[in-house]
Homo-oligomer: A and B are copies of this chain.
Amino acid sequence: MDRFIVTYRIRADDAADAAGRAEAIALEDTVEIPRDVVPKGYVEDTILGKVLDVVEGGDGVWIARIGYHIDAVGRELPQLLNVVLGNASILRGVKAINLTPNADLRQRFSGARFGAAGLRGLIGRETGGFVCPVIKPQGSSSETLARLCYLTAVAGADIIKEDHGLANQDAAPFRERVKLCAAAVLQANSERAQTGETSRALYFANIGGHGDHVRDLAYYAKDAGADGVLLIPGLFGFDAMNRLAQDPEFGLPIMAHPSHLGPYVLSPDNGYGHGMLFGQLMRLAGADISVFPNYGGRFGFSREECQEIVEHCRETDGLGPIILPSPGGGMSIDRLGDMVDNYGHDCVYLLGGSLLRYGDDIGEAIRDMRAALSD
């Protein structure tokens, strides 16, 4: 295949309209000029998107596949997204629902560094789902947050995730907070090791600060002892995540947070399909763990949409290694059984605000989670 393929769901009046709209997308996302002025030769033959087929999908919707050449992209992820859904994101009734990589795309965007297997190795837990408390709320001091890190880590958590709203506010500035939290998890891991426990807790620091400081902040976190970072591609850009993932010197796993990305999936007629955004694009951009709001919580994803995300995180012919899905958003321990039935063990189970109800007994909640997620 000399082209990678994007599949679009197009709302149209009839087959001719659908075909015309597919051709319009192919123009819009590459040359962005009227068809009659596309220069002959290289621009028309290689750069211009190529409509492969347009098939009726029922209910006024058509499914179009468009092939794009890597030459229209270059080597940087922002321009890849321009080609996949840049200006077409502004067209009414156009939703990108699938990405089929080719060898060119795989070569330039190699995906996650660790993936599901790599993370299981880092944590040292051979079986069972991953217990992931979320440390919050913002406004707490660094010491308070670090204590929550310690209490959950020593009780057996697998991943300690900072809340995505812990940025760089005065109450707990990034550098101070990360230093204390990393030290707290290190201490807890050392105590766990003394009991003969072979698994360890990984501390994921939330990158909070300016976009052009992401690399510096991530390296600071690493040097302070963090085991991974949480990043919000909807605010910092997907390329910010990919640059860390593709940096062999950095070499820590990355958890992607869905904040600010809602509008890309909530409309049936615009943006991305759930699986494409939270599965395929997160993998392509280098996330090892993709956080998304679970069905039945505060957010409006359906069970089927969540399932689609998980399938794309795990599809074996996807881009790079398979990664860990991570459902969260208003979950509670009594729902974990149902969630494990649905998502299985290669999954990071988030539990946030409701853990705070346990106060100093938060370790009990972690042990309850562990029990619910074990074989």
Contacts and interface: CB of A to CB of B under 8 A. Distances in A.
Interface of A: 24, 28-34, 36-39, 42-43, 46-48, 71-79, 81-83, 85-92, 136-140, 163-165, 167-171, 208-212, 214-215, 232, 234-240, 243, 258-264, 266-267, 269-271, 293, 298-300, 329, 352-354, 356-357
A242 to B, nearest CB: 9
A143 to B, nearest CB: 14
A239 B260 CA distance: 14
A212 B72 CA distance: 21
A352 to B, nearest CB: 7
Contact of A165 (B75, B82, B163): B82
A186 B209 CA distance: 38
29 contacts: A31-B137, A31-B139, A32-B164, A33-B353, A33-B356, A37-B353, A42-B139, A43-B137, A71-B139, A71-B170, A72-B165, A73-B167, A76-B210, A78-B167, A78-B208, A78-B232, A81-B260, A82-B259, A85-B260, A86-B259, A89-B260, A90-B259, A90-B300, A91-B262, A211-B211, A212-B240, A262-B271, A263-B267, A263-B270
Contacts of A300: 90-92
A213 to B, nearest CB: 8
A217 B232 CA distance: 23
A37 B137 CA distance: 10
Given A243-B210, A353-B32, A356-B37, A82 B235 contact: yes
B139 A91 contact: no
A72 B139 contact: yes
Contacts of A33: 136-137, 352-353, 356
Nearest to A33: B353
A43 B139 contact: yes
Given A76-B208, A86-B232, A92-B300, 11 more contacts: A30-B138, A32-B352, A33-B137, A39-B140, A42-B171, A71-B169, A72-B139, A78-B235, A79-B208, A86-B164, A212-B212
A307 to B, nearest CB: 17
Contacts of A237: 211, 235-237, 240
**Shortest Cβ-Cβ A-B pairs, 5 listed:** A33-B353, A90-B262, A47-B139, A89-B262, A92-B300
A76 B168 contact: yes
Contacts of A352: 32-33
A32 to B, nearest CB: 6
Contacts of A91: 262, 298-300
A259 B86 CA distance: 5
